Structure 1
């Protein structure tokens, strides 16, 4: 019982208080604008869990954030800053679209092949930034950001030139044999866009942990990230490890893009701007402390707030600008552990003194 209390005090209390503080700041922002925060938060929760359809769509919104959060966190854990997850996500979409549209194969070959190709597209796009760092010393932050735009325009060119529907700004629909929705779950959630990517995202959370902390390769990846010079002295191939780390990171990002095509939309549009999941993944990874479970929880929080924010706009008339203030406030306090711990310090000290007196 004492152990449980200790865990609650240290591990659960801080994030719970962080979320509450964020909601309070958001409520103040809504009050200052003349809106009812209680109605707004009620509308938010109803949007997230108010019906089977909204619950399914919330899970759908969370799924790509798990993939992109894992991609960013994996790179961070190995000492790299993969800011190009957005581009890798887009390349994953493109790879899956090519296979899904061009080929017509049995479902047990077509779907897995599209997933693998899309993931490899994302991995190779990330590995390009890793190669530039390893071989030429190019900072991965700069190269990966630039590759985001290259990926967007390359994807648009491929779709418009080879895959597009005549007269439309999107690709032809992928064949049914490649579409990865879960039919029984779609029916159960009133036609919410549920797909196998959610299950694979949870598997990737486990794989993230196994790769980094239960394999020799994972030890090398972390060692190179902590101290490249010491790793080189120990006989590790630092350059190869950098490329490998970026490739694995890109695989996670590519998988996120794959299921946006194969599980949600069934095609790829010619995009004026990137989807944004890769940049959101940076926030998710930081919220989760670059740990697999933390990324999962961060994606749930970020995805739930993002999808539920629509309820605040429609149910309470709160404009999108104030909705963003609410989301940003929650994320700020969750990320700012030091501020929250400072606020809680007097309370925690009093509790500690009472326990000493009781002992």
Structure 2
């Protein structure tokens, strides 16, 4: 029972920023979101992967291995060898991917950047297709099959028809995108009509596309070059090839412009259109989207159609921009699977996918330079890419290594743990 002689004092309302309350300040909330957010996790995942790559570079260096034998007597020799090995490798990686300081002329020194953008071009397009599927709740791992079908159709148009310059290229681009879209639409229809899981169907269609293109490349009168016994197509005609943006001395071609346009279109589609809203709604919760009146089956089909068209555009960029002398069944060069990594690193966002593809293009272009200059196996680059995926898939591990906060979680301070006593 309350003592009538002791007046009750009301508890003061929580004040923002007051250490005795559980309400964090707005600046603390902002710092928490920045330091623990997905962007920071992606950046630090790349940093951790580069550290792992540095360890592997040091372990495989012969000079480091020799100095390891007398490490305890002269540790400085081994540390110096490790520094020279790692710094030399990453310096060659940078100069092979961004800017070559060994070239006195700026025109020659900037050439590695164009190579990076050229390698990144199909990754941007294919990564956008995979990312769009992710946003709609579809795990499209059939990029290889969709690329091969697009390459087969665009390549056939590219070497079979005599059309004016520009028109020939546009027809080939549209043909390749339609081929990739139709091949992916099979997956969407099976998902919508029968509930078949897209992972199984895309894997099966990858094999079907590979053996179909391989068969056509061995069949005279189909995709095989006339008079040749090798499973290879004829070269593309000049009227269908993407022109170089900065002249024949630079590998970058018109495909990069198509990639930038694709990023803008996908960004607008997902962020500003009603169809993109339906994609995101179905991707978040298909049951709730169905209750809201969205035709989930139709969304699955449209998501795969657009995803396949974008992946098909990546195949077109390969056959009309990079490999114009004819193609074989291995022309996809693993881009269909690398696009999954790019989409994951980009957090399935259009511009995030764009920069992730640039990073992977830089690793590929710089990896060749690193191998040529330092003798380091290019497999190190593949390990770095794999480690990036590993760390991206394990945000708690990255947060634990760098002691990052969890978004939305604020640990109680010593003052906040103290109970506010009410005077009696």
Taking structure 2 as the reference length, the TM-score comes to 0.75
Over aligned residue pairs, what C-alpha RMSD do you find? 2.6
- Asked which structure has the greater RCO (Cα within 8 Å, sep 6+), the reply is 1
SS at structure 1 position matched to 2:337: helix
Q: Say if 1:15 and 1:84 are closer, same or farther in 2 by CA, change over 3 A.
A: closer
Q: Say if 1:80 and 1:65 are closer, same or farther in 2 by CA, change over 3 A.
A: same
Please tell me whether the aligned partners of residues 148 and 329 of structure 2 are also in contact (alpha carbons under 8 angstroms).
no
Please tell me whether the aligned partners of residues 287 and 335 of structure 1 are also in contact (alpha carbons under 8 angstroms).
no
The equivalent position to 2:266 in structure 1, one of 208, 228, 251, is 208
C-alpha separation in 2, matches of 1:323 and 1:239: 40
Instruction: Verify: 1:172 aligned to 2:234, yes or no.
Output: yes
The equivalent position to 1:39 in structure 2, one of 83, 88, 95, is 88
Query: 2:416 maps to what in 1?
Result: none
Say which one has the larger Rg: 2
Q: Which runs of 5+ in 2 are unaligned?
A: 1-26, 63-84, 101-108, 414-424
Query: 2:152 maps to what in 1?
Result: 94
Query: 2:218 maps to what in 1?
Result: 160
**225-234 or 286-295, larger mean C-alpha shift:** 225-234
The superposition leaves residues 211-241 of structure 1 with CA deviations (integer Å, 9 ceiling, x where unpaired) of 1221111122222222333333333222222
C-alpha separation in 1, matches of 2:44 and 2:279: 35
The equivalent position to 2:55 in structure 1, one of 28, 31, 42, is 28
Q: CA deviation at 1:164?
A: 2.2
C-alpha separation in 1, matches of 2:385 and 2:297: 39
SS at structure 2 position matched to 1:186: coil
Within-5 A mapping of 1:121-136: 121-136=179-194
The equivalent position to 1:251 in structure 2, one of 309, 322, 332, is 309
Query: 1:271 maps to what in 2?
Result: 329
Query: 2:74 maps to what in 1?
Result: none
Please tell me whether the aligned partners of residues 18 and 334 of structure 1 are also in contact (alpha carbons under 8 angstroms).
yes
Taking structure 1 as the reference length, the TM-score comes to 0.87
C-alpha separation in 2, matches of 1:28 and 1:97: 43
The equivalent position to 2:372 in structure 1, one of 314, 320, 328, is 314
Instruction: Verify: 1:219 aligned to 2:277, yes or no.
Output: yes
C-alpha separation in 2, matches of 1:88 and 1:148: 8
Q: Say if 1:96 and 1:281 are closer, same or farther in 2 by CA, change over 3 A.
A: same
The equivalent position to 2:345 in structure 1, one of 281, 284, 287, is 287
Please tell me whether the aligned partners of residues 212 and 221 of structure 1 are also in contact (alpha carbons under 8 angstroms).
yes
Query: 2:417 maps to what in 1?
Result: none
Please tell me whether the aligned partners of residues 22 and 331 of structure 1 are also in contact (alpha carbons under 8 angstroms).
no
SS at structure 1 position matched to 2:139: coil
Please tell me whether the aligned partners of residues 129 and 309 of structure 2 are also in contact (alpha carbons under 8 angstroms).
yes
Please tell me whether the aligned partners of residues 170 and 267 of structure 1 are also in contact (alpha carbons under 8 angstroms).
no
C-alpha separation in 1, matches of 2:404 and 2:318: 47
The equivalent position to 1:142 in structure 2, one of 189, 200, 216, is 200
Give aligned pairs, total. 345
**171-180 or 22-31, larger mean C-alpha shift:** 22-31
Q: CA deviation at 1:20?
A: 2.9
Q: CA deviation at 1:338?
A: 3.1
Please tell me whether the aligned partners of residues 165 and 239 of structure 2 are also in contact (alpha carbons under 8 angstroms).
yes
The equivalent position to 1:52 in structure 2, one of 105, 110, 122, is 110
Please tell me whether the aligned partners of residues 35 and 405 of structure 2 are also in contact (alpha carbons under 8 angstroms).
no
